[in-house]
Amino acid sequence: MSPVFVRKPDLRELGACYSLDGGYETEYIWQLRREVARGTISVTLQKVRLPRVLKVRPPIIGEIISAHWDQGSILVAKEGTQVCGFVDISMDNEERTGIVEYLIVDRPFRRRGVGSRLLSETEVFAASELRLERLLIPVPSKNYPATLFLEANGFEFAGYSDFYYRSGDVALFFGKSLT
């Protein structure tokens, strides 16, 4: 196993990002329950075991990453000469917040520290080069493995939205201060 390097991609490496497998499997999901009564809104997230393994196809990587590449807000992880992961950040400069649009590690490279290394380098990059103060990462409520990964890397649950994904999936937001 070669060391993993994280850096800004060249055009060829950016193209390799489109072929990475960002799909996943899970036996659990987060179920959202919302109750409104007499001026009180209660929201509960509960881990629910599924009757069978849910296999989720990789996300469709949009052309937005080309624009973010032009802005210099994409990093790739490479093992040797192979791109094994990438992170794409959009920026809200007024709020000094980076929103991680994609954090993908190719399946053969998972559970080897690549994702943690990529995320750690992203935090340093976002604070020092992009001058951001916080990172926010939206995750579909059915991506239970990602929620565990983010919590293990110091991110905290920061809210949810029913209206973030076109698919109608609930987005769970995880955040971390960079200051």
Strand 156-161 with 134-140, pairing: unpaired
Tokens of 153: 């890397």
In this structure, what token pair is assigned to residue 28? 């659990």
β 134-140/24-37 pair status? unpaired
Residue ranges making up the domain that contains 136:
4-23+59-177
Q: What is the CATH number of the domain that holds 122?
A: 3.40.630.30
79 found inside a domain: yes
The pLDDT tens digits for 117-146 are 999 999 999 999 999 999 999 999 999 999
Question: Total structural domains in the chain?
Answer: 1
**Residue 164, in any domain of the structure:** yes
Q: What is the pLDDT of residues 146-160, one digit of tens each?
A: 999 999 999 999 999
Residue 44 domain flag: no
Domain membership flag for residue 42: no
* Residue that the structure tokens 């080309």 belong to: 66
Token output for 160: 């949810």
> Is the per-residue pLDDT at 1 higher than 80?
no
pLDDT tens-place string over residues 17-58? 999 999 999 999 999 999 999 999 999 999 999 999 999 998
pTM of the model: 0.92
Give the Å distances, CA to CA, from 95 to 4, 124, 131, 136, 170. 32, 18, 11, 11, 23
Tell me whether residue 151 is in a domain.
yes
Q: The tokens of 53 are what? A: 């393994």
Q: Is 159 among the domain residues?
A: yes
Q: Is residue 110 part of a domain?
A: yes
Residues written for the chain: 179
Residue 119 lies in a domain: yes
